[in-house]
Amino acid sequence: MKIAFIGGGNMGEAMLAAILAKGLSSQEDITVSDISQSRRQYLGQKYSINVTGDNRRSVSSADVAVLAIKPQNLAEVMAELNGQLKSNQLVLSIVAGARVDTLCQGLNHSHVVRVMPNTPAQIGEGMSVWTATAEVTEEQKGWVGSILRAMGNEIYVAEEKYIDMATAVSGSGPAYVFLFAEAMIDAAMHIGLSYDIAKELVSQTLVGSSHFLHKSGKEPSELRRMVTSPGGTTAEALAQLARGRFTELVKQAVEAAYSRARELGS
């Protein structure tokens, strides 16, 4: 599978590294095009791949063209690639907010996949949600699934509206977790723990709890009840969170992110 990356940012590099690590493509079959000469040099030296500053040249013989650019650069890149793609080439976009119709019209191309990855993909623990146009073949869907699973887990959705919903949950979700971690560390320091101890306690608690949730097969509510003894310390802490409307605030945060995702894509 020959793959061209348009843009060599962090998420594009994460995908590139995962593809090579899993042996989905070879170094000689991967090309990265980026406007930054220093970025091209860095990626070329680190991964021993082909690099270029010419987007059209990069996609000329690719089976998959990955759009990994910033949203503000999309219009210019689409204009440059319009009419340059072969009918059987697959375009895989991880451009935030860029809808399938926008991509198809801007590129004058119908084989398009839109993906919403998240930042843990950079360490192989990502969650990607994706959809595809009707023209994308089963073989091409297989390529996409393999690429995304190399970065973590993936879910295919038949309707694009679910991408905006996923953006509000898994796309923005890491920031919610990081904010909660910050708050827990601050609270731990407030009651007397050092920063180093607080960070270690919080980090491992989040990792262990996430793995437990993932592997136990139990519902979150059941696991919460398992940890909560009546009249105990956990019960008192959860009661305080309830008084602060913690659950309602999370709901409002996700709804706000969802509304913004829809606005950005309109």
* pLDDT for the residue numbered 96: 87
* pLDDT for the residue numbered 193: 98
CB atoms within 10 A of CB 102: 18
> Could you tell me the residue ranges of all domains in the chain?
3-158, 173-265
Judge residue 251's burial from the number of C-beta atoms within 10 Å of its C-beta, 0-12 exposed, 13-18 middle, 19 or more buried: exposed
Please measure the distance between the N-terminal and C-terminal CA atoms of the chain and give it in whole angstroms: 33
Say how far apart CA 258 and CA 105 lie, in whole Å.
24
* pLDDT for the residue numbered 264: 82
| Superfamily holding 3-158 | NAD(P)-binding Rossmann-like Domain (3.40.50.720)
Sequential pLDDT tens for the chain (266 residues): 999 999 988 899 999 999 999 999 999 999 999 999 999 999 999 999 999 999 999 999 999 999 999 989 999 999 999 989 999 999 999 998 899 999 999 999 999 999 999 999 999 999 999 999 999 999 999 999 999 999 999 999 999 999 999 999 999 999 999 999 999 999 999 999 999 999 999 999 999 999 999 999 999 999 999 999 999 999 999 999 999 999 999 999 999 999 998 888 76
* pLDDT for the residue numbered 266: 66
Are the C-beta atoms of 228 and 234 separated by less than 8 Å? yes
* pLDDT for the residue numbered 101: 95
Judge residue 3's burial from the number of C-beta atoms within 10 Å of its C-beta, 0-12 exposed, 13-18 middle, 19 or more buried: buried
Say how far apart CA 34 and CA 9 lie, in whole Å.
9
* pLDDT for the residue numbered 108: 95
* pLDDT for the residue numbered 263: 87
CATH number of the 173-265 domain:
1.10.3730.10
